[in-house]
Amino acid sequence: MTDTSTATAASVPLAPRALPLLGHALPLLRDPLAFIMSLSDYREMVRVRLGPSTAMMICDPDLTRQVFLNDRVFDKGGPIYDRIREVIGDGLSTCPYPLHRRQRRLCQPSFHPTRLAGYGAVFARAAEVKAGSWRDGDVLDITQEMMTLTTRATMETMFSGSLLAETMRRALADTSTIVTAFFRRMMTPALLRRVPTPRKRRYDQARNRLSATIAEIIAERRADPTDHADLLSTLVAAVDEESQDGQKQLSDTELADEALTFFLGGMETTAITLAWALHLLATNPDVQRAPGRDPSGPGRAGRSTPRTCPRST
């Protein structure tokens, strides 16, 4: 088997139908899933060209394992991470290897088992409210429905009930603009990314405003550090006893990067997973009718889940 850390680019086959200058950007933008699936026939690795850059696609489970486990060699970086860092800085999911251990130690208390039940209750309440707003026969954009559900629930788990309705509305709108623009910006060459189109202006405004909103929330929390039983409280209070440089707590910039990481990283992933779960339930009525489990304990009889499912997905 190939060792991914020593493979040279020339020894790896290039995916078919690369266009001059654009490379594989068009099929990736038009139908990313179909394009990625078409690469699974390659046994180990395949090269994909994104404009002037080349990416290596790993197609083999053992090689994938090497890449995930050897984070000193396969550190996070390159043009895709650069684009993500424009928004979430050096948070836990984007920071390079030398920063990662410290950030892990500081973020871990936020996910302590004693905290999880509280987050779960917030999500369960949000799900009840959302499902309660649907009526039989409604035609729903289920991805959008799940995005609003997870964005609101994530905001509440992170910042408890302390946000003003206007702040929440602004953050929701800015997040939606950023997420929509994200993928396209990743694929656009640097020169074109600087062209001041209306789309770019909207993206820049949304990014700056969301950063300012998060900075505002952090400043308020620093001024009133009592435990609000939310993610931000645990991040503000976290202490790294193993700190080598005397920086035992997260700075304001680090706090903002982590808050944006959890917010943006936890929202779309969860929304898309839920949208697919609902789609599968809607297309498998037997499973949908089967008795569900009581979420408060394994094996206990409970209500069917979900109570309602949109007719159209």
Could you list the residues that contact ligand HEM (CB under 6 A)? 92-93, 104, 261-262, 265-266, 269-270, 273
> Rounded to the nearest whole angstrom, what is the least distance from the CB of residue 153 to ligand HEM in the complex?
10
> Rounded to the nearest whole angstrom, what is the least distance from the CB of residue 261 to ligand HEM in the complex?
5
Q: Which residues pair with 23 in a beta bridge?
A: 19, 50
Q: Which is nearer to ligand HEM, 22 or 272 (CB)?
A: 272
Q: Which is nearer to ligand HEM, 8 or 251 (CB)?
A: 251
Q: Which is nearer to ligand HEM, 27 or 266 (CB)?
A: 266
Q: What are phi and psi for residue 57, nearest 5 degrees?
A: -100, 125
Contacts of 258 (CB under 8 A, 6+ apart): 91, 92, 103, 106, 107, 235, 250
Among 112, 106, 109, residue whose Cα is nearest residue 250: 106
Q: Which is nearer to ligand HEM, 45 or 264 (CB)?
A: 264
> Rounded to the nearest whole angstrom, what is the least distance from the CB of residue 19 to ligand HEM in the complex?
28
Q: Which is nearer to ligand HEM, 46 or 84 (CB)?
A: 84
* Tokens standing for residue 99: 């920063």
Q: What are phi and psi for residue 46, nearest 5 degrees?
A: -145, 145
Q: Which is nearer to ligand HEM, 27 or 265 (CB)?
A: 265
Q: Is the peptide bond before 225 cis (omega within 30 degrees of 0)?
A: no
Contact 238, 250 (CB under 8 A): yes
**Dist CA 55 CA 77 (whole Å):** 12
> Rounded to the nearest whole angstrom, what is the least distance from the CB of residue 137 to ligand HEM in the complex?
29
Contacts of 55 (CB under 8 A, 6+ apart): 47, 48, 49, 80
CA-to-CA separations, 279 to 96, 131, 177, in angstroms, rounded: 37, 15, 25
DSSP code for 10: G
* Tokens standing for residue 272: 């898309």
> Rounded to the nearest whole angstrom, what is the least distance from the CB of residue 240 to ligand HEM in the complex?
15
> Rounded to the nearest whole angstrom, what is the least distance from the CB of residue 307 to ligand HEM in the complex?
21
- How many other C-beta atoms lie within 10 A of the C-beta of residue 202? 15
Q: Which is nearer to ligand HEM, 113 or 198 (CB)?
A: 113
Q: Is 52 helix (H, G, I), strand (E, B) or coil?
A: coil
Contacts of 41 (CB under 8 A, 6+ apart): none
> Rounded to the nearest whole angstrom, what is the least distance from the CB of residue 265 to ligand HEM in the complex?
4
**Dist CA 45 CA 40 (whole Å):** 9
Q: Which is nearer to ligand HEM, 11 or 269 (CB)?
A: 269
> Rounded to the nearest whole angstrom, what is the least distance from the CB of residue 77 to ligand HEM in the complex?
12
